[in-house]
Amino acid sequence: MNYDVIVIGSGPGGYVAAIRASQLGMKVAVVERAELGGICLNWGCIPTKALLKSAQVYGYLSHAADYGVSVSGDIKADFEAMVKRSRGVAEGMSKGIQFLFKKNKIDHIAGTGKLKSGKVVEVTDAGGKKTDYQANHVILATGARSRELPNLKQDGKKIIGYREAMTLDKQPKSMVVVGSGAIGSEFAYFYHTIGTQVTLVEFMPNVVPVEDEEVSKQLERSFKKSGMKVMTSSTVESVDTSGELCKVTVKTKKGEEIIEAEIVLSAVGISTNLEGLGLEETGVAIDKGKVVVDDFYKTSVDGVYAIGDIVHGPALAHVASHEGILCVEKIAGKHVEPLDYGNIPGCTYTQPEIASVGMTEKAAREAGYEIKVGKFPYSASGKASAAGSKEGFVKVIFDAKYGEWLGAHMIGDNVTEMIAEVVVARKLETTGEEIIKAVHPHPTMSEAVMEAVAAAYDEVIHI
């Protein structure tokens, strides 16, 4: 029962860390109380994208005539079939992790893990039996769950979180979505597209508030154009669930408004899973609900590490994966550099999609940079026009003095696939001139990146 590494949690941080540790010759075990793959594969990133794809297909069919295609009969959204497909995709991915564990000779210990002194992990199985496992290194990767507000307590039926939103028995006729971050906006798009009457409520002045303001405004315009009700600078004061419909009291700049809906989806962020982990007993330092770690994810206790949503930094699957890899490579004695948290891409899979990395224009100006800003609209893109997806743009920001690529912000079809070019270019300290001179294929959406850079340097051809 002795291991080189025991990982508690099998999400995109935990399972990736385990596989990399195994590749480096370590004996590894992963403790997981639920499905392998964690929230991302089972209840987050992957199944939501399956639902969003169903909504996109439904949207295409509903507008088939715009593409010269005649569809006879009514186009109907089979909500139950969409959910079933989504769950099937998630189950397939989880089985894929099982295969990877076998391939890499990683032991899966089913149960709830708790850290004990001396780098011992106590695992309680489904029957309540407790077993101790010894490790040289323990990595905590327990992730997070839907955050609950005091005035928005989730009952799993009328007031729900993202997990229930993926598996409702039937499609609601109406829904209030509270919070317009990636999770809230994606579910608002999904349900609205398949015919649910959606009201999106956001506390901040802009939807997707972490994004560049121009991107936020464009998404709000797109949502409103499609018929969705969007309320910004608004707060949900209370929800009365005593009747058949929820009565949602929303405070706006103009006063209070009551909205009736079948379902209220709370998408106001996440809370870390730190309870019952044994952190206090073993002396692992915590600050503001997050585990305190150094640049390579070592906690205040020797031999104990933490990665992913439970440490400070963006709560994103790809961040957790990279943290896990760096953590175990450092344990193995390899030369590794700290993760550059200033070069982390973020994606929101609405229609239009959103992708960004680096500083917003506002942040760059506030930081004192003299900047060059370039913007290329999708309306000028031949590929976007041919695809019938002319909403959106690519915006880039450069330091005027030294040419550093400070940020890029995109909204439009396919941008989540395009942002990687900017991430790699920034990693390699590529200049704007080099991007302009690098031949981009035509016609593609990705040309818009080169065109936006050219616009920043007054060399743009097509606008």
Residue 295 marked ligand-binding: no
Own/partner long-range contacts of 281-284 (Cβ < 8 Å, ≥24 apart):
281/115, 281/116, 281/117, 282/115, 282/116, 282/117, 284/115, 284/140
Q: Say which DSSP state 276 is in.
A: T
192 is catalytic: no
Selecting among 312, 322, 409, 442, the annotated active-site residue is 442
Residue 183 marked ligand-binding: yes
Coil, strand, or helix at residue 19? helix
Q: Which amino acid is at 404?
A: E
Residue 118 marked ligand-binding: no
* DSSP H or E stretch at residue 20: helix 14-23
Residue 186 marked ligand-binding: yes
Residue 222 marked ligand-binding: no
Residue 113 marked ligand-binding: yes
d(CA 79, CA 58): 11
d(CA 221, CA 446): 23
Residue 179 marked ligand-binding: yes
Residue 22 marked ligand-binding: no
d(CA 24, CA 59): 46
Q: Which tokens belong to 132?
A: 């101790």
Q: Which residue has the tokens 């942040």?
A: 363
Nearest CA-CA partner of 379 in 305, 462, 459, 320: 462
For 386-416, the DSSP string reads HHT----EEEEEEETTT--EEEEEEEETTHH
Residue 233 marked ligand-binding: no
CA 353 to chain centre: 13
- Share of the chain residues as helix, strand and coil, in percent rounded to the nearest 5: 35, 25, 40
Residue 184 marked ligand-binding: yes
Residue 269 marked ligand-binding: yes
Q: Which residues are annotated as a binding site for FAD?
A: 49, 113, 309
| Binding-site residue set | 49, 113, 179-186, 202, 269, 309
Please report, in range form, the residues annotated as the binding site for NAD(+): 179-186, 202, 269
Active-site residue list: 442
